[in-house]
Structure 1
Amino acid sequence: MASPQPLSLHAEAVRPEWLDYNGHMNLAYYSLVCDHATDAVMDWLDLGRAYRERTGGSIFAVEAHLSYDRELIAGDAMRVESLLLEGGARKLRLFHRLLHDPSGEQAATNEVLLLHVDLSSRRVVPWPDDGLARIKALEAAHAALPRPPEVGRRVGAPRSR
């Protein structure tokens, strides 16, 4: 199951209603597309929608960082490549690279920290053993991949002289 390559599980196109007054995709929708990719990764790990319905466990995003690198306009096709950066007893950190398709140009990146939550108590709880095993297998497969330079970035602009 574990992939030694970034996961490529989600693709969609820019919808006209996602455009802002500048005629390009509004920043909120970059986040939405990456959130769709997170859902796809969680489904792939069998810790997504079906897992939530079976167990009452789910994920909450507690921190996210987006970088914007390329303008996207209505109709542009996008695909997302995802890396599992870190998995722990109760957490998961993912990195998504949003690509313009078919050019392959990076349009945005998203790093997100997720916590496993019991929806009945709304408290952070450990992953089930089988789920943690799948997380750890994918984390190990992705550990050998180069880390994108955007991982761990903080908000800021380069200083000009």
Structure 2
Amino acid sequence: MTSPLRIYSDIVKPEWIDYNGHMTEAYYVLTFGFATEEFQSHVGGGEAYRLRTGSSIYTVEAHINYLQEVKEGTPLNFSTQLLNFDEKRMHLFHEMLVGDDDILVATTEVVALHVNDQPKVTSMPSDILEQLSAIYHLHKDIPTPRNAGRSVGL
């Protein structure tokens, strides 16, 4: 069975630590954002694409689950699964993992839109759609992550 992509990693920096002694929530958002940007670059929609075309891919929705604390100096690895896509949108699921055993410490689910330089939502070019299609073909049979599709509530 195919696995989610492993294309981004980081390490918890001292300035990411809050007064509780662990990584503050803002840096979960930041590192998941970096993982999303790395995926976008991987399919041809990153910074070079923006500079060349004026178009970009914007995150329009995200939901984070904080599962375990992460301390300063901890190496972070991220897995990315393409849950779905169409000509204008992509639906991603990232897992933040630590240690040799890939302990799951956080997840995020992201919906992103392709926009032109106006910025108006437009279809992605065929080369990006082809990359997404190839990845989706590999990821479609991976089980949907347990935390995907959750809503916020009491």
TM over 0.5: yes
1:53 match: 51
Letter of the 1:42 counterpart: Q
The alpha-carbon deviation at position 27 of structure 1 amounts to 0.7
For these two proteins, the number of residue pairs brought into alignment is 154
1:156 shift after superposition:
3.2
C-alpha separation in 1, matches of 2:103 and 2:2:
22
RMSD: 1.3
After superposition, give the CA deviation of every residue in 1:72-118 in whole Å (9 maximum; x if it has no partner). 01101100000011111100111000001334111100000000011
Partner of residue 6, structure 1: 4
**SS of corresponding position for 1:47:** coil
* 2:150 is equivalent to residue 153 of structure 1: yes
Deviations 1:19-39 (A, max 9, x none): 111010001111111111111
8 Å contact 1:24–1:72 — kept in the other structure?
yes
- Paired residue type of 2:123: P
* Number of the residue aligned with 1:93: 91
Residue 70 of structure 2 is matched in structure 1 by 72
| Structure 1 consecutive aligned stretches of length 4 or more whose deviation exceeds 3 Å | none
Q: Percent identity?
A: 38
Q: 2 CA distance for matches of 1:68 and 1:9? A: 21
User: How far is 1:136 from its partner?
Assistant: 1.5
Q: Which runs of 5+ in 2 are unaligned?
A: none
**Contact kept? 1:117, 1:125, Cα under 8 Å:** yes
Find out whether 1:108 has 2:100 as its counterpart.
no
8 Å Cα contact 2:44/2:127 also seen in 1:
no
* Match of residue 124 from structure 2: 127
* 1:32-73 deviation line (CA, Å, top 9, x unaligned): 111111111111111111111111111111110000011001
Q: Distance in 2 between matches of 1:14 and 1:84?
A: 25
